[in-house]
Chains A and B, each alone.
Chain A
Amino acid sequence: MSSQRDARGRATTPDRLQPDSRSAAVARHLIRRAAQQVPAAVSARLEEEWLADLATRTGSLSRLRLALGCCWAARVIGAEHAAWGVVAAGTTSPKVLTARAPVDLSFVSGRTLALLTIACIHIAVLYSLATGLMQRTITPEPAMQVSFPTEIEVAPRAPAANNAPSHAHPRLRSPAPKVDIEPPVSAELPPPPAVAPQAADRNSVPPPPASTRVLGGPGVGFPATEDFYPAAARRLGEKGAATVQVCVDVTGQLNAAPLLAASSGSARLDEGALRLARAGSGHYRPTIEDGRAVNSCYPIRVRFELRN
């Protein structure tokens, strides 16, 4: 046995015995480093043994896999020696290791750890089912539509001094949009009522200037509505529309807590609508009156729909 010994008495193998390649050199380096991590009693033996096995490997990947495996083995062996107190009788002795009485330093056994892992997985699955996460990941997201019918109110306001007959305020309701957030609405002045020109003709007085009032609504940056569809309601297939009264200042922020004006028939959906209304504070379009933003209260309608 002509293996060389280093200053620490460890067996070393001349590099010329190994394939001359960079991967082999790296693998040898890793193996020697790994062998230093194990207890000194078995360090030299394992280093020589692992280097011998390395010599049988061909291919860079195979060598590196072996070297990395030895690094892992060194960690395991080191941990086990700390628990077992293995004594080495010498690297060349046929009987190398003698085991003492085991000292169990582990706090939990492998079986306990497995049971804990299984319990954690069960808890995670139950939590997912309870909160709707599982449905979100397993089934395709049900199409949902939350719409805000925007009301546009055009109110010609006649001066008090004007004795012209009052006219019913035309109240225009736009159809429910199919998108979540509508762009800001611009309102055109309606033509004066049909009777006004006749009166104007008779009295030669120009028609009174009409004031415009465009109610606000959800504006740019309003929260993503699908995030407020209650998971439980979605699982139960609940759908409906709730109307929420919001009071918005000139900056688009709520200046009062939103109130439920009309229930959807589901407490869960109503709560979802209220949460959405609260979350949208700062992203409302203020009501425009005569070209100026004003504080106002107006209803928004939140519709929850499931589409297959």
Chain B
Amino acid sequence: MMPAVRGILLCVVALLCASVVSADVSITASVSPAEIAVGNDAILTVRLEGKFRKSGSPELPELNGITVYESGTSQNFSFVNGQSSTSVEYHYTLRASREGTYKIDPIRVVIGDKEYTADPVTIEVTAAQQSIPSPASDPGDGVRAPSSTDPSPGPKESIFISASVDKDTVYVNQQITWTLGYYSDGRVTLMRSPNYSPPDADGFWVEDLPPQKNYYTKLGGRQFVVTEIKRAYFPAAPGVQEIGKARVDVVLRGAEARSVFDDFFRNGGFGQPKNLYSDVTRIVVLPLPQQGRPENFSGIVAHNLSLAVSAHKQLVQVGEPVNIAVEINGTGNIRTIPQPELPATEKYKVYESGSSSDAFKRDYTVTGRKQYDYVVIPQVEGKWEIPAIELTYFDPIEKRYRVASSYAVPLDVEPGAVEEGRKVVYAGGGDDFEVISRDIRFIHSVSSTIVASRQPFYRSRGYIGLNALPLLAIIASLFVERRRRKFADDIGYARSTRARREAEKKLDAARKQFRAGDHERGFALIASATTGYFADKMNAPAAGLTVDAVTSYLSSHGVGEDPVASVRDVFNACDAARYASDPVSADRAEEIVDKARAAVSSIEREFKA
């Protein structure tokens, strides 16, 4: 198709599709669990699904009494039957500080120039089990006891950071919870919020663990306000691995400042910058044990892994695609779980069609869900199953290899339609007729008259040249028709144009008459030729045309004297010959014919000039 035509068709198709695309986006919001105690967390999930490429972030309404932390997104992109679809999930951690029933108003998302809203969701917050105490009201009870990894600050340190891990010996891909504590005893004030830079962690998969925690603790007899940030680290290889130094940049107003002026003159009014560093944390990463390792172990490290396989429909026809979802849930770095293989059989064909993953962080532990999608095309009719899938994994909590397995998925496959809308009848085939298998058709034999061309005929110059001929014919026809019309409409032009040809015809006839010996007839023809020629040129009747009339006509048209004289000679010679008593010789007759022809030619030239 020509690009322009194709472009128009595409525009039409695009206009038709535009409404479909925009109408295909759905948005849902959910909270899990729907009921929590004050100080506990719930996960709010906003899910977008449909045909779109980019979306804005969800706009959450104001929630008095609930603090919202972003805790990641997951995106899934799939292609099925040539159609692409996208699903994006935005996860938020909700922490309630007051009990009550909270209605989260419709969450808005803008995709393109359209706005979509989710249905409102409700979360129930019950009374607190234990809230963070205020030091003013009850400092003793509110102080958290230092752990074994709690730092022991020197007497002059009013502000410092300290990193710790929940365990220093783990297996490969087992979670380590790294905690960075920011301690301040309140004797210094900051000119702006601290700036935190996470540590380098080559050789680890890292997940942030929101929300940050605030509490009070006593160290060395002094009370500190502690802000904790947590991260999950999953070591990728065995050996001694290092989590680098974290850095917190602060700008102090002045530790001993007693007034604004005192601080200004001491620190120049811009504060005193200070960089706080944590220690490097060393982790001993153990390799997975060899003992009991299954042969088909694929390196998955997780806790409480579960596997579920589902089909979007179980009653199908041969050749009809079935969407199969393999969902894996568990605790650990679930995103890294490799794709399980659907057992191959001759009963179906399998195509991979996409994957998606989500990570959840509850109680600072990473759990996750990974889904692999397949399209299965049944090849055989009957009732049969897609066999169960097994995944072997290492459980670092139980320190042993375990197997997660799914159930088999039963399918009821009916015979497929032979060809849509067509009933094929094989003569004599009857019920016994059966197509055993299908193969390609055999090669073509070579015709002896094969035209082996390096280039098709329509690219040859000859063909392009031939195509010019009809166009030339049309142009010629226009020219001819124009001339024909002029001939028809202008008698004088027609006579003038034909005059010479007519005269020459008569002169040829006269010559023949002379050679045949009929001189009288010959001279009559010469007279007719010359008189007729000038009558045509003058568009006047030939009868009664005199030599004087001709010569005066020629003179008035600017013809020179010599041609006029030659015309007069011809007329005189004819008259003399016709009316002479003695017969004129054959040579003389031929000479007069030649003179007449020369006179006509010279007059013609004079007119053209």
Say whether A and B bind each other: no
